[in-house]
Amino acid sequence: MIRHLQRMRAKKGFSMIELIVVVAIIGILIAVIVPNVGNDRAKREQANTTATDFYSAVQYCFSKYSKYEAALSPELKADIPSKSFIDYFPAVSGNYPVNKVTYIKMKNGSDGNIEYVHVASSLSDLLADTTTTNTNAFADLLAKDIGDMFYSELEGYYFAYVYFADASTALASTTNTVRVKMTHFMYEDMPSTTTVDSAFINNNLLFTDYAYLANNRICGTCSSIKSGSVYLGDVGTYFLNKGDVVTA
């Protein structure tokens, strides 16, 4: 009988106080987890929206540059490939880039103003540049023109990959315009590096989930690139990895 009473006592349920404590703990966990999930989703959506707005601004600028000579200052019209910024062929009916590829990085401040623009012809050169001012005359021009039509209070880093297929044969009769293939927005800057090797690419440029890179940083994206049913920003694609390569 004593053993039976002991077993009955051992099977006794939670007391009211214990239940209240458990419910309170669950409530606290929900209060912490749910807002974080909501904030994270909002940050991803906001990053994609601002990347889309940036895409429109950059595409407008480069389309204008390729069509109207008056948009460029005289020093930008000279065919001098050795210059660090993107050069243009002086053509009667427009300006066409000497380089096929242009990489752009823009830092937007907390006040919504552009802090600096960097321009390079390779991703490694762009990511190796740690200066906090515009790097050259073409960057000055971009900062002004993008700033005239793009405004965002979202502080962070904006990237663009710009492509011109006919760079080697650009003439006055060329009708192709510069095409922005992709833009990205990140709350945190990309790691600085002078070598964009496979290890760096897989750790920092690979999309592993919607709006997430392998290093867990949020990366909003807008792209005109599609390979089959895959768009840049989908799992398995790469952020600014040579632009025309979108799958592993």
The 10s digit of each residue's pLDDT in 97-134 is 777 788 999 999 988 899 999 988 888 889 999 999 99
Distance CA 55, CA 169 (A): 26
- pLDDT at residue 147 above 70? yes
Tokens 């011109």 correspond to: 164
Distance CA 208, CA 236 (A): 6
Find the mean pLDDT for residues 18-42.
67
> For residue 215, is it within any domain?
no
> For residue 10, is it within any domain?
no
> For residue 216, is it within any domain?
no
> For residue 222, is it within any domain?
no
Q: What range defines the domain where residue 93 resides?
A: 15-190
> For residue 1, is it within any domain?
no
> For residue 213, is it within any domain?
no
Best-predicted range by mean pLDDT (6-10, 55-59, 150-154): 55-59
Rg, Å, the chain Cα set: 26
> For residue 39, is it within any domain?
yes
Distance CA 127, CA 75 (A): 26
> What whole-number percentage of the chain has pLDDT above 70?
65
> For residue 239, is it within any domain?
no
Distance CA 53, CA 49 (A): 6
- Mean pLDDT estimate for the chain: 77
Statement: the pTM of the whole predicted model exceeds 0.85: no
218 - beta bridge partners? 212
Q: What is the token pair recorded at 179?
A: 């095409």
Question: What does the pLDDT read at residue 244?
Answer: 47
Question: What does the pLDDT read at residue 173?
Answer: 53
Q: What is the token pair recorded at 168?
A: 């080697």
- Beta strands per DSSP E along 48-178: 88-91, 94-97, 101-108, 114-120, 156-163
Q: List, for residues 227-248, the tens digit of each pLDDT value.
A: 666 677 788 888 876 544 433 3
Distance CA 215, CA 201 (A): 10
- pLDDT at residue 57 above 90? yes
Q: Which of 203, 182, 184, 189 is nearest to 245 (CA)?
A: 182
Q: Which residue has the higher pLDDT, 182 or 89?
A: 182
33: pLDDT confidence band, cut at 50, 70 and 90? low
First to last CA, the chain: 71
What is the tally of structural domains in the chain? 1
- pLDDT at residue 11 above 60? no
Q: Which residue has the higher pLDDT, 69 or 170?
A: 69
Q: List, for residues 184-197, the tens digit of each pLDDT value.
A: 999 999 999 988 88
Q: What is the token pair recorded at 147?
A: 């700033």
